[in-house]
């Protein structure tokens, strides 16, 4: 197999920068305003990116550093910025992430926050909101590292060691869609398991049209629920490529002894089976009938649709955890993933892909981490894919250039409507993806046909 020469530069990246992930995660904490310590452009760019995907407001404050501050340090700006945000929003929490600029100049954010809490308490009439911080230089990873770093910071910095034991389960569901979050919440409720899902942006980034606008949207994981995480029965964390030092579940396990169940993102049959098995164990009861039914319906669909998908070849790209789940699912339904690519570089991708594909015969897919679209396109040349699965960013060069369908999943989806309502997880998510894939293949066939069958 031909391998593409390594480039030093990146052409059309297949990843976003670290603070974007952090801002997303902070948005899932109740009442929290994400705040980037740096110059204002980063916050503006990221807002635009996130807003275009969700079609929802997304406020990200910035300390708006200028040249002078870049030289002498951003402490004054950070303090003044926090005062303004807290004052105007009456925010119960602020999530502060650094940017490349403030990391390069070496601002010591924890110390500045410590001083802020001492010096500014009076200005805030004695009410100090929760201030959570994480270090997110973009040159140290992709947006997923930022996402996990923020989740871990929320847990590490908010957890109350004195929490009494309780029956709850902590759920770290990763970078998934609002629809996925809602589905997971239903699943837990049906199992009778009280869950604290972090981060929960199912409402903050998919809110209703309101008669009365709130400048901090409702929803989000309650602060007190995060504080009580050390008392939980167990934690579940999704993502096969999270390194231990990035894992929120690991903090709770190592510091407070909360048992951790690390699972893959429950995409497709087997990864969902793993989740439901874990839930049965934790709940001490069997899965509600509706899930047995959903699983059965998924299998039924897999039988009915097999003729359309069998033997097709797919290229999958996106965040590492996401592509592992998708690879697992596509393999199950008889599609051959020929290339699994990500801009992320956890170092765990190859192993994770191997784990979900080893039971299938034939060559394992080509796995490429730390790549950009230029390299993915170059690899694709020889692979003759029938289908592309990933976000909007691969549309032009991968799908359109070959006239093959792109199944839009994950983030960002900037060229379709309803991105926040794409369901990927659980049996139901698998069914949804399955329908999308089969229909895309049918449509392609239909369009390519000279006859124009209305019965396929």
Partner 1 sequence: MTTIAKKKKAVQMDPTDVVQDLLKKYPTKVARKRAKQIMVNEAEGASTPEMGANVRTIPGIITMRGCTYAGCKGVILGPTRDIVNITHGPIGCGFYSWLTRRNQTHAETDADENFMTYAFSTDMNENDIVFGGEKKLKQAIQEAYDLFHPKAIAVFSTCPVGLIGDDVHAVSKEMKAKLGINIFGFSCEGYKGVSQSAGHHIANNQIFKHVVGTEGEVKVGEFKINLLGEYNIGGDGFEIDRILDACGITVISTFSGNSTYEQFATAHTADLNTVMCHRSINYVAEMMETKYGIPWIKVNFIGAEATAKSLRKIAQYFDSPKLTERVEAVIAQEMPAVKEVMDDVRSRTEGKTAMLFVGGSRAHHYQELFNEIGMRTISAGYEFAHRDDYEGRHVIPEIKIDADSRNIEELEVEPCSENYNPRKTQEELKKLEESGFKFKEYAGMIPDMPNKSLVIDDLNQYEAEKLIEIMKPDIFCAGIKEKYSVQKLGIPLKQLHNYDIGGPYAGFKGAINFFTDIDRMVNSKVWSYMKAPWQENPELSATYAWE
Residues found near ligand SF4 in the complex (CB under 6 A): 17, 19, 39, 41-42, 45, 99-101, 138
- Check residue 44 for interaction with partner 1 (CB under 8 A): yes
Binding partner at 78 among partner 1, ligand SF4, none, C-beta below 5 to 8 Å by kind: partner 1
Q: Are 226 and 232 in contact (CB under 8 A)?
A: no
| Interface region with partner 1, contact rule CB under 8 A, candidates 82-90, 127-135, 238-246, 277-285 | 82-90
Structural Rg of the chain based on CA atoms: 22
Residues in the chain: 456
Give the shortest CB-194-to-ligand SF4 separation in angstroms: 37
- Check residue 12 for interaction with partner 1 (CB under 8 A): yes
- Check residue 83 for interaction with partner 1 (CB under 8 A): yes
- Check residue 216 for interaction with partner 1 (CB under 8 A): yes
CB atoms within 10 A of CB 375: 22
Strand order across the beta sheet in which 61-62 lies: 61-62, 32-37, 93-98, 130-134
Residue 70 burial by Cβ neighbours in a 10 Å radius (0-12, 13-18, 19+): middle
Site for partner 1 in 276-335 (CB under 8 A): none
Q: Choose between 116 and 427: whose C-beta lies nearer to partner 1.
A: 116
Q: In the bound complex, which residue of the shown chain has the CB atom lying closest to ligand SF4?
A: 41
- Check residue 347 for interaction with partner 1 (CB under 8 A): no
Residue with structure tokens 């909007």? 392
Q: Choose between 39 and 173: whose C-beta lies nearer to ligand SF4.
A: 39
Give the shortest CB-100-to-ligand SF4 separation in angstroms: 3
Q: Tell me the C-alpha distance between 80 and 75, whole Å.
A: 9
Q: Choose between 43 and 169: whose C-beta lies nearer to partner 1.
A: 43
Q: Are 18 and 138 in contact (CB under 8 A)?
A: yes
Q: Choose between 45 and 308: whose C-beta lies nearer to partner 1.
A: 45
- Check residue 8 for interaction with partner 1 (CB under 8 A): yes
Give the shortest CB-170-to-ligand SF4 separation in angstroms: 29
Closest CA to 272 of 143, 432, 422: 432
| Interface region with partner 1, contact rule CB under 8 A, candidates 67-75, 295-303, 305-313, 347-355 | 67-75
- Check residue 355 for interaction with partner 1 (CB under 8 A): no
Among 95, 168, 178, 207, binds partner 1 (CB under 8 A): 207
Written as six digits, the tokens of 308 are: 């359309």
Site for partner 1 in 386-405 (CB under 8 A): 396-397
Q: Are 169 and 194 in contact (CB under 8 A)?
A: yes
Written as six digits, the tokens of 46 are: 């990221």
- Check residue 59 for interaction with partner 1 (CB under 8 A): yes
Q: Are 93 and 61 in contact (CB under 8 A)?
A: no
Q: Tell me the number of residues near partner 1 by CB under 8 A.
A: 77
Give the shortest CB-125-to-ligand SF4 separation in angstroms: 33
- Check residue 247 for interaction with partner 1 (CB under 8 A): no
Q: Tell me the C-alpha distance between 328 and 153, whole Å.
A: 30
Give the shortest CB-61-to-partner 1 separation in angstroms: 5
DSSP β-bridge partners for residue 134: 97
Q: Choose between 101 and 232: whose C-beta lies nearer to ligand SF4.
A: 101
What is the CA 254 to chain-centroid distance, rounded? 24
Q: Tell me the C-alpha distance between 195 and 386, whole Å.
A: 40
Report the SS3 class of residue 369: coil
Q: Are 171 and 188 in contact (CB under 8 A)?
A: yes
Give the shortest CB-132-to-ligand SF4 separation in angstroms: 18
**Angle between the 109-119 and 75-89 helix axes, to the nearest 10 degrees?**
50
- Check residue 122 for interaction with partner 1 (CB under 8 A): no
Among 25, 28, 98, 101, binds partner 1 (CB under 8 A): 101
């Amino acid at each position: 197999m031909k391998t593409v020469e390594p480039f030093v530069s990146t052409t059309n990246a297949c990843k976003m920068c670290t603070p974007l992930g952090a801002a997303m995660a902070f948005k899932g904490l109740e009442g929290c305003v994400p705040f980037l310590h740096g110059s204002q452009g980063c916050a503006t760019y990221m807002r635009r990116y996130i807003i275009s995907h969700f079609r929802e407001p997304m406020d990200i404050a910035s300390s708006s550093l200028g040249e002078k501050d870049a030289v002498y340090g951003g402490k004054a700006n950070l303090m003044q910025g926090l005062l303004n945000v807290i004052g105007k929003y009456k925010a119960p929490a602020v999530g502060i992430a650094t940017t490349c600029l403030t990391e390069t100049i070496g601002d010591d954010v924890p110390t500045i926050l410590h001083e802020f809490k001492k010096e500014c308490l009076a200005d805030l009439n004695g009410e100090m909101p929760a201030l959570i911080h994480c270090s997110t230089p973009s040159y140290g990873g992709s947006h997923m590292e930022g996402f996990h770093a923020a989740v871990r910071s929320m847990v590490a910095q908010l957890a109350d060691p004195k929490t009494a034991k309780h029956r709850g389960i902590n759920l770290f569901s990763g970078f998934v869609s609002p629809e996925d979050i809602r589905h997971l919440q239903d699943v837990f409720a049906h199992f009778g398991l009280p869950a604290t899902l972090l981060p929960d942006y199912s409402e903050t980034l998919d809110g209703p049209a309101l008669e009365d606008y709130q400048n901090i949207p409702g929803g989000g994981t309650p602060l007190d629920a995060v504080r009580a995480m050390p008392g939980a029965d167990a934690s579940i964390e999704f993502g096969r490529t999270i390194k231990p030092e990035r894992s929120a579940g690991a903090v709770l396990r190592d510091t407070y002894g909360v048992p951790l169940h690390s699972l893959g993102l429950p995409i497709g049959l087997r990864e969902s089976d793993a989740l439901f098995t874990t839930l049965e164990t934790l709940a001490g009861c069997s899965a509600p009938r509706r899930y047995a039914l959903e699983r059965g319906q998924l299998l039924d669909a897999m039988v009915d649709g097999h003729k359309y998908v069998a033997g097709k070849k797919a290229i999958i790209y996106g965040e590492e955890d996401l592509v592992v789940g998708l690879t697992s699912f596509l393999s199950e339904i008889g599609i051959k993933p020929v290339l699994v690519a990500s801009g992320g570089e956890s170092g765990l991708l190859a192993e994770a892909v191997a784990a979900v594909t080893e039971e299938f015969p034939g060559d394992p897919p080509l796995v490429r981490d730390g790549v950009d679209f230029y390299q993915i396109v170059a690899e694709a040349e020889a692979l003759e894919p029938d289908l592309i699965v990933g976000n909007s960013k691969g549309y032009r060069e991968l799908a359109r250039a070959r006239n093959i369908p792109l199944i839009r999943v994950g983030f960002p989806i900037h060229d379709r409507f309803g991105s926040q309502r794409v369901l990927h997880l659980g049996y139901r998510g698998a069914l949804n993806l399955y329908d999308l894939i089969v229909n895309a293949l049918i449509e392609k066939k239909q369009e390519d046909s000279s006859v124009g069958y209305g019965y396929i």
